[in-house]
Amino acid sequence: MEKKTIAVFGATGAQGGGLVRAILADPTGGFTARALTRDPNSAKAKELAALGAEVVSANVDDADSIAKAFDGAYGAFCVTFFWDHLSAEKEMAEVELMAKAAKKANLKHVVWSTLEDTRLLVPLSDDRMPTLHGKYKVPHFDGKGASNHFFTDAGVPTTFLLTSFYWDNLIHFGMGPKKGEDGKLGFVLPMADKKLPGIAAEDIGRCAYGIFKAGDAYIGKTVGIAGEHPTGAQMAKALTDGLGKGEVVYNYVPPEVYRTFGFPGADDLGNMFQYKRDFETQFCAARDVAFSKSINPKLQNFTEWVKANKDRIAVG
């Protein structure tokens, strides 16, 4: 039987990379991976080609290249790259291009990596957190949530995939434990005693693969994924036990303080954590761990992830 091609944006990155590797690790699964990249000659692109992916040049800002990337494919994994440019407007324009191209290419299934439009629960008039860039509360969430309609409007068979906080942020995003003035390792989160749904970035792609493999089951649906919903204190305990570098203490930093940390996007992330803290029940309910495991049997919890990555986690 001819294999179904999935065109994967972000293939050299975290989410898309996990999907490409999941497809290629299952040669009898009925799918092949078309890895989309701006640079097919990069080391990462060549690595994917060596694993068996078809590598195709595409830029999410360029409609013609998206059309070529989707040509002849069965499905696509769509993701945008907020942290490369910090613009929700740019993300929305990109989603519109991808949705229109998906319709033109007559794709049978798109998995769109989205997040909540937080303004549905925190309208701009709600001053518990500042409004950012004039019209958002959490720009990197709101732009994605506000883009869902592009797929629906275009009539594209779509699964809306709500992702979770990557635990890999402890490796790549400066969120690992840091030594305080008392010499103790501290792990900072603005979550108080609330649960933070999280996931190994690699598991997002594996879950997306499970969704493609399920055929029509999740088309037209919004599904959320997480590997576990630990509290900050539980994460600190797992880091204490797993890193072998002494006690890691959970340091709750209120969102209003986190917003002032000064790195690009600190205000966006402060608002994001506040949203997750203040709407813990809804946010966790939208990301069921048992469901995530059902579409990705390899799903890791935080303790397992720490064990597997203990030498990569940045400890300052």
Q: What angle do CA 52, 310, 182 make, to 5 degrees?
A: 150
Overall residue count recorded for the chain in this entry: 316
Question: Is 15 a residue that touches ligand NAP (CB under 6 A)?
Answer: yes
| In the complex, minimum distance from the CB of residue 58 to ligand NAP, in angstroms, rounded to a whole number | 6
- Nearer to ligand NAP by Cβ, of 68 and 125: the residue is 68
**CA 67/CA 100 separation, integer angstroms:** 9
What's the N-to-C CA distance of the chain in angstroms?
52
Looking at 10, 177, 227, 270, which residue binds ligand NAP (CB under 6 A)? Answer: 10
Structure tokens at 25: 């690790």
Instruction: Check residue 53 and report its DSSP letter.
Output: P
70, 74, 82, 218: residue in contact with ligand NAP (rule CB under 6 A)? 82
**Shortest distance, CB of residue 313 to ligand NAP, whole angstroms?**
15
Residues 98-157 that bind ligand NAP (CB under 6 A): 140
Among positions 20, 32, 56, 80, the unique one binding ligand NAP when judged by CB under 6 A: 80
Number of residues that bind ligand NAP (CB under 6 A): 27
* No. of helices (H) and no. of strands (E), the chain: 15, 12
* 81 makes contact with ligand NAP (CB under 6 A): yes
- Per the structure block, which two tokens stand in for 305? 């992830």
If DSSP codes are grouped into helix, strand and coil, which group holds residue 246?
A: coil
Span 16-75, contacts to ligand NAP by CB under 6 A: 16, 37-39, 42, 45, 58-61
84: contact with ligand NAP by CB under 6 A: yes
Residue 258 as a binder of ligand NAP (CB under 6 A): the answer is no
Residue 94 Cβ vs ligand NAP, minimum distance, rounded to whole Å: 7
Q: What angle do CA 243, 244, 245 make, to 5 degrees?
A: 90
CA angle 142/173/204 to nearest 5° reads 60
> Which amino acid makes up residue 86?
L
Instruction: Give the binding site for ligand NAP (CB under 6 A).
Output: 9-10, 12-16, 37-39, 42, 45, 58-61, 79-84, 140, 163, 165-166, 169
